[in-house]
Amino acid sequence: MKSTKLFGAALLMSTMLAVGSAQSKTLVYCSEGSPEGFDPAPYTAGTTFNASSKPLYNSLVQMDRGTTNVVPGLAESWEVSADGMEITFNLRKGVKFHTTSSFTPTRDFNADDVIFSFARQWKKDHPWNQYTAGIAWEYFDGMDMTALLKDIVKVDDNTVKFVLNRPEAPFIANMTMDFASILSAEYAAKLEADGKKDMINQQPVGTGPFMFVDYQKDAVIRYKAHPDYWDGKQPIDDLVFAITTDASVRTQKLKAGECHVAPYPSPADIASLQADPNLQVMEQEGLNVGYLAYNATQAPFDNPKVRKALNMAINKQAILDAVFQGAGAAAKNPIPPTMWSYNNDVQDDPYDPDASKKMLADAGVSGLKMKVWAMPVQRPYNPDARKMAELIQADFSKVGVEVEIVSYEWGEYLERSKAKDRDGAVLLGWTGDNGDPDNFLAVLLGCSAVGGSNRAQWCYQPFEDLIQKAKVLPNNDAREPVYREAQAVFKEQAPWATIAHSVVFMPMSKKVMNYKMDPLGSHRFDGVDISE
Amino acid sequence: MLRFLLSRILLLIPTFIGISIVSFGFIRMLPGDPVLLMAGERSLTPERHAALLKLLGFDRPLWEQYLGYLWKLLQGDLGISLKTKIPVAQEFLTLFPATIELSLCAVIFAIVLGIPAGVLAAVRRGTVFDHSVMGTALIGFSMPIFWWGLLLIILFSVTLQWTPVSGRIALTYFFQPVTGFMLIDSLISGQAGAFKSAARHLILPTIVLGTIPLGVIARQTRSAMLEVLGDDYVRTARAKGLSTVRVVGIHALRNALIPVITTIGLQVGTLLAGAILTETIFSWPGVGKWMIDAISRRDYPSVQGGLLLIAGVVMVVNLIVDLLYGLTDPRIRYRS
């Protein structure tokens, strides 16, 4: 360990010498938390991915920076068989892994690395499946990859074929996700031989735009640009993550010039950041949705007219003003507007308490008492669920519906809200994983998710047929109209009151150039430059 | 003295076992489990939930888990963090020097300012100086740490730019930790300006963390001094013609120190609690911040191990305080 650290220091020194008297370009990012580790696959937190998969690794396909468009990564191209069951990736040649203090690669990236990266998550008997006791492959299993994969075949050194058990259009989008990062099989073999398997999580080696230099726990992570990166060396030489967990302090650091980029400002600080002449504040709607899910299996909420009437009683603008303080946009669809296939033709339920009251009366509902569940935690899609619940309570009382607000500890809340016989409507939300509409519509509203992540317990066959159809269509052009139709069906049936998509603000120094906000909410520094 | 020491050390054993039970039990009494929180909005099937609990060993009866934990504990194994998969002891030891460094500086700050302020306030009882010292101490004691920290940052770091906002050292300095104490490591590194940078980074966190103990120590010193200054032997010393400095500094202060030492010892627990907030404000990579994170994730091994180690430190400090009584007050030494 010690020799490694010395080597790390020597590496940095040599880099500094190499650039000679020229000032190396360093970008300091005040990150909001510490990474759990540097192997992305066992984790689910965005903070971890920003520090691991984004700078250090590549996947076979990746998102074009600032969009949800899938572009080639370590695979130059790919072909999907006519039946959609086989996807063949043609791998990029001459891709170099990082040379670090603990590892010098002897070969370029090849098919073995791809197979290693997936097999370790997939096969329970793989020597790396439990490289640390108790490790779980949350995303791989969460995306149902175990059931989906039939085989991964090495056709030759530069060709890998994924054989599926069923056609699955979102598969390519899944391959852009962080769990699909490609690790070095050669490095793994060396660690295994040295009896230091867990180092794969602490001293990472990847093919990504930056190489790992050092991590001082909960304080600083240092990276340097990968000199042999397949897509060209980065404009900046060093990337530093200064871990700063408190939002107000991040803002102060940015103002004091101690960091160049500081994510997740407090809503209260945004105006002063925008007013600062040295700073720029980017903003974008997040790939998320906050909603109120009725329980569609319980009377009277099994009646779409009742749900619709309640939706019309909610004053969304008041919620946006009070809860989001301007950092939110009204939601009308279950997917956010930045996602492809978003149906802008859908009309949102208008705020009309009188009409709502009448509709409830027409549906034979009077003196209704219900529970509204308020989450105990702050989430990107809902900064203050308690306040939101209180506003809804006031809105519903205007149409004669009496609301009792309930809340549980977060773990309990998640668990209890899944119950099919749950009493009441639940406030919750979702942040997208892979930019695919299936990741919202099937996960949150599909029949198979009832009793799980389908908190509305809503299984409506016409909607289900549409999302199942879209899942197996060969390309996004064909899938798009189907998803648009699904959104229309959703709106008409109203299993949720769609409330808001949060707006994400990204304050940074005006020196930072070419930063692009990621619709999926990650923070990437490849391609980013900094002026002197 | 040896018997006194032994009896105190023996008392530590049941306390330690008690703490191990409490730390083991408390985190499990909180609703929700680590698997549920890991999954978040992504729901788990009951089968997968059970499988993951089994994988982590949380499916066994509580008593069995506790005995397993205790058995490992006796072998010096605190378990592996669920979050980082790194041994808890290793994580703790990496972060603890930062907490100690900060706490020590805060204690020194509080003692160096608090005792003289308390003594002077007692000597000049009823004067404007006395009232202003005690008023300031009360304000310091009641100050919400978070607000106080931010206030100092905005004034000294952003407006005046005298001190850095947060962190332990400027990012331009890069060396490997040897002791974990930044002041020492920066000296060892030999890099010009590193020590100065580390010291500058310590100023605000030290003030913020030391404010409450400073208030407490100043008030305690004042009241203890007042009591002692009215005693017969002080009058005798004065009657003998000793200088005020000698009477107050040697005769009175030494006797007044016992309750002050007790207070300082008790402040260690307060300091560690205060460190949690101070570390969060100043992005100080210590155990306080780490524990909060572990609790919110239900990282059982980290919470158990962390609590146990922190409690261990508090116990050792209290033991030292007990021994210091003996050194300061011969009556305690002879009685035991």
Summarised one tens digit per residue, pLDDT across range A471-494 is 888 788 999 999 999 999 999 999
- Measure CB to CB from residue A219 to each of B40, B56, B285 and give the nearest one: B285
Give the mean pLDDT of A54-79. Answer: 93
**Residue A504: pLDDT over 90:** no
Angstrom distance (rounded) from CA A231 to CA A226: 10
Angstrom distance (rounded) from CA A509 to CA A241: 15
Minimum Cα–Cα distance from B168: chain A residue: A219
- CA-based radius of gyration for chain B: 24
Question: In B, which residues are within 8 Å of A456 by CB distance?
Answer: none
Predicted pLDDT at A134: 76
Distance from CA of B75 to the nearest CA of A (A): 18
Predicted pLDDT at A21: 39
Look at A245 and B95 and tell me if their CB atoms are within 8 Å: no
Look at A415 and B157 and tell me if their CB atoms are within 8 Å: no
Q: What is the pLDDT of residues B53-100, one digit of tens each?
A: 888 888 888 888 899 888 888 888 888 888 888 899 999 999 999 999
**Residue A14: pLDDT over 80:** no
Give the mean pLDDT of A401-407. Answer: 95
Angstrom distance (rounded) from CA A147 to CA A520: 25
Give the mean pLDDT of B15-43. Answer: 80
**pLDDT band at residue A22 under the 50/70/90 scheme:** low
Look at A256 and B83 and tell me if their CB atoms are within 8 Å: no
> Which tokens belong to A217?
């726990």
Distance from CA of A222 to the nearest CA of B (A): 9
Predicted pLDDT at A7: 44
- Note whether A253 and A242 are within 8 A (CB): yes
Q: What is the pLDDT of chain A when averaged over all its residues?
A: 91
Predicted pLDDT at B332: 67
> Which tokens belong to B137?
């101490």
Predicted pLDDT at A90: 97
Distance from CA of A230 to the nearest CA of B (A): 28
Angstrom distance (rounded) from CA B258 to CA B262: 6
Look at A255 and B36 and tell me if their CB atoms are within 8 Å: no
Residue to mutate among B174, B178, B181, B290, with most A CBs inside 10 A, is B174
CA dihedral B166, B169, B171, B176 (to 10 degrees): -140
Look at A452 and B45 and tell me if their CB atoms are within 8 Å: yes
Question: In A, which residues are within 8 Å of B297 by CB distance?
Answer: none
- Note whether A181 and A41 are within 8 A (CB): yes
pTM for the predicted model, two decimal places: 0.84
Put simply, whether A216 touches B (Cβ < 8 Å) is yes
Amino acid at A529: D
**Residue A98: pLDDT over 80:** yes
- Residue A430 CA neighbour count, 13 Å, CB half: 29
Put simply, whether A8 touches B (Cβ < 8 Å) is yes
Beta bridge partners of A27: A239
Give the mean pLDDT of B271-300. Answer: 86
Q: What is the pLDDT of residues A218-239, one digit of tens each?
A: 899 999 999 999 999 999 999 9
Question: In B, which residues are within 8 Å of A429 by CB distance?
Answer: 41
Question: In A, which residues are within 8 Å of B40 by CB distance?
Answer: 44, 414
**Residue A10: pLDDT over 50:** no
Question: In A, which residues are within 8 Å of B82 by CB distance?
Answer: 134
Distance from CA of A415 to the nearest CA of B (A): 7
Give the mean pLDDT of A316-329. Answer: 90
Angstrom distance (rounded) from CA B165 to CA A250: 9
Q: What is the pLDDT of chain B when averaged over all its residues?
A: 86
Cα→Cα distances A301→A334, A347, A364, A416, Å: 19, 21, 12, 18
- Note whether B37 and A44 are within 8 A (CB): no
Predicted pLDDT at B43: 67
To the nearest 10 degrees (0 to 180), the angle between helices B182-189 and B194-229 is 140
**Residue A466: pLDDT over 90:** yes
Angstrom distance (rounded) from CA A104 to CA A252: 41
Q: How many CB pairs under 8 A join A and B?
A: 143
Which among A179, A186, A174, A183 has a CA at the least distance from the CA of A56?
A: A183
Question: In A, which residues are within 8 Å of B169 by CB distance?
Answer: none
Number of residues assigned to chain B: 336
If one counts every other C-beta atom within 10 angstroms of the C-beta of residue A162, the result is 24
The β-bridge relationship of strands A86-91 and A75-80 is: antiparallel
Predicted pLDDT at B268: 79
- Note whether A237 and A26 are within 8 A (CB): yes
Which among A90, A118, A75 has a CA at the least distance from the CA of A207?
A: A75
To the nearest 10 degrees (0 to 180), the angle between helices B145-152 and A247-255 is 10
DSSP state letter for A256: T
Minimum Cα–Cα distance from A141: chain B residue: B48
Predicted pLDDT at B142: 86
Give the mean pLDDT of B40-65. Answer: 80
- Note whether A160 and A76 are within 8 A (CB): no
* A529 sits in which H/E element: strand A529-530
Burial class (CB in 10 A: 0-12, 13-18, 19+), A465: middle
Look at B39 and A28 and tell me if their CB atoms are within 8 Å: no
Put simply, whether A296 touches B (Cβ < 8 Å) is no
Amino acid at B23: S
Question: In B, which residues are within 8 Å of A253 by CB distance?
Answer: 165-166
Look at A252 and B176 and tell me if their CB atoms are within 8 Å: no
Look at B84 and A428 and tell me if their CB atoms are within 8 Å: no
DSSP state letter for A93: S
- CB contact burial A485-497 (16+ within 10 A = b; e otherwise): bbbbbbbebbbbb
The β-bridge relationship of strands A369-373 and A402-406 is: parallel
- Note whether B103 and B272 are within 8 A (CB): yes
Put simply, whether A198 touches B (Cβ < 8 Å) is yes
Put simply, whether A69 touches B (Cβ < 8 Å) is no
Minimum Cα–Cα distance from B39: chain A residue: A138
Which among A66, A35, A74 has a CA at the least distance from the CA of A181?
A: A74
- 3-state SS record for chain B: CHHHHHHHHHHHHHHHHHHHHHHHHHHHHCCCCHHHHHHCCCCCCHHHHHHHHHHHCCCCCHHHHHHHHHHHHHCCCCCECCCCCCEHHHHHHHHHHHHHHHHHHHHHHHHHHHHHHHHHHHHCCCCHHHHHHHHHHHHHHHCCHHHHHHHHHHHHHHHCCCCCCCCCCCCCCCCCCCCCCHHHHHHHHCCCCHHHHHHHHHHHHHHHHHHHHHHHHHHHHHHHHHHHHCCHHHHHHHHCCCCHHHHHHHHHHHHHHHHHHHHHHHHHHHHHHHHHHHHHHCCCCCHHHHHHHHHHCCCHHHHHHHHHHHHHHHHHHHHHHHHHHHHHCHHHHHHC
Angstrom distance (rounded) from CA A430 to CA A453: 10
Residue B164: asked if its preceding bond is cis (omega within 30°), the reply is no
Look at B31 and A412 and tell me if their CB atoms are within 8 Å: yes
Q: Tell me which of B35 and A303 has the higher pLDDT.
A: A303
Q: What is the pLDDT of residues B119-170, one digit of tens each?
A: 999 988 889 989 998 998 888 888 888 899 989 999 999 889 899 998 899 9
